[in-house]
Amino acid sequence: MGRSLRRSTVGMEPGAAMLCVVRLTSAPPSLKGLVGLRLIELDAGLYVGNISARVRDQLWHQIDKKIGEGRACMVVPAHTEQGFIVRHINTKYEPVIHEGVLLMKKTHKRRQTQSDPELGA
């Protein structure tokens, strides 16, 4: 009973494969094919897989470049209160940090934004 429970950081070392979830909506077929090369498509437009941070960032760059008028969202592990960060493009949601917790506020306009604290947003 004297053991304390600690949050595990296994898999969060630089270069380690980490779980990545991507949601694409109204994306060009070429982009869906590109994402499908690295992640498994669980449902229409919903992809998941274990990839390194380097591959994840390269994939996000390609999504950003090719999404056009579509929408994209990526959820990846991070050292935050919730244990993850959210990146998104062309969504109706705006990230809001409230008492250290990321919340998503629905807006009336579609905006290109990211809620990645590592990128300074």
Domain CATH for 61: 3.30.70.240
Contacts of 48 (CB under 8 A, 6+ apart): 19, 20, 21, 22, 39, 40, 42
Distance, CA of 118 to CA of 28 (rounded, Å):
28
Distance, CA of 116 to CA of 106 (rounded, Å):
17
pTM: 0.75
Kindly report which listed range (34-38, 66-70, 94-98, 114-118) carries the lowest average pLDDT score.
114-118
What are the tokens at 50?
Answer: 């274990």
Summarize pLDDT for 47-63 with one digit per residue, the tens: 999 999 999 999 999 99
Looking at the structure of the chain, the number of domains it has is 1
With beta carbons less than 8 A apart as the criterion, state whether 88 and 31 touch.
no
Residue with the larger pLDDT of the pair 69 and 102: 69
Kindly report which listed range (40-44, 57-61, 109-113) carries the lowest average pLDDT score.
109-113
Q: Which domain holds residue 60?
A: 18-119
- If you ran DSSP here, which 8-state letter would residue 4 be given? P
> How far is residue 106 from each of residues 73, 77, 85, 114, measured CA to CA in Å?
15, 23, 17, 14
Distance, CA of 77 to CA of 19 (rounded, Å):
7
In a domain, 84, yes or no: yes
Distance, CA of 21 to CA of 71 (rounded, Å):
14
In a domain, 10, yes or no: no
